[in-house]
Amino acid sequence: METVAVIDYGMGNLHSVVRALEHEAAGDQRVLLTDDPETLREADRLVFPGQGAAGDAMQALSSRGLDRLLPELAADRPFLGLCLGQQILMDASEESGGVDLLGILPGRVARFPAMQGPDGRRLKIPHMGWNRVLPAQEHPLWHGLPETPWFYFVHSYRVQPEREADVAGRTDYGETFASALARGSLFTMQCHPEKSAACGLRLLHNFLRWDGDGPGAS
């Protein structure tokens, strides 16, 4: 039996993510919501979701000892970061007055600036609702999805990766920002697949069957 561990650090709609994964899991996969270090070490796949502020998230991870454990675990098995779970993998964030993050992927997290849409109106922050993701590279997690799939977003901050090679998908909202990142066995998205209907479920389906082989693995 393969274990898919959803990392429980008390931030966000964790149970919705668990239900979506259970919907797409194969018969030989079980989905666990856990913060137990040994269970996480033994898991075959890891999912790191989240909602909320970066500072609160880092405190929650630190209180469980997960801030030291996750960099180790993200390197050697399929690992999916979602929404805040994408941002926390970067080096640092402007949020919460400025906070150091896990440093698994090089780059920063910055708030959207004031921007205007095509009609000249000021765009609302947070960026909330449905938007397209344009894949920036071939990747197994895009398999079976439309050319520019729709996903559901809720966020005021976006990642700014240092490495162009890490960008797996882009989205337009006043500017073009990196909405998906990939390196080796790590894949992250700013959106909420569990709220993204058929496209979101397909992406989770692909993750659950992915062997972890991806760009930049060496």
What residues form DSSP beta bridges with 160?
108
83 assigned to active site: yes
- DSSP-assigned letters across all residues of 54-120: HHHHHHHHHHTTHHHHHHHHTTSS-EEEETHHHHTTSSEESGGGSEE---SSSEEEEEPPP-B-TTS
194 assigned to active site: yes
The dihedral built from the CA positions of residue 36, 31, 187 and 209, taken in this order, carries a sign that is positive
Among candidate residues 127, 192, 199, 205, the one labeled active-site is: 192
- Largest Cα span, the chain: 54
Backbone angles phi, psi at 37, to 5 degrees: -60, -40
95 assigned to active site: no
What gap in Å lies between CA 28 and CA 45, rounded to an integer?
13
Among candidate residues 24, 83, 95, 205, the one labeled active-site is: 83
Q: Are 48 and 85 spatial neighbours (Cβ–Cβ below 8 Å)?
A: yes
Q: Which of 81, 22, 40 is nearest to 205 (CA)?
A: 22
What gap in Å lies between CA 56 and CA 18, rounded to an integer?
22
Among candidate residues 24, 127, 191, 194, the one labeled active-site is: 194
Backbone angles phi, psi at 121, to 5 degrees: -80, 150
The dihedral built from the CA positions of residue 188, 76, 215 and 30, taken in this order, carries a sign that is negative
Residues with a catalytic annotation lie at: 83, 192, 194
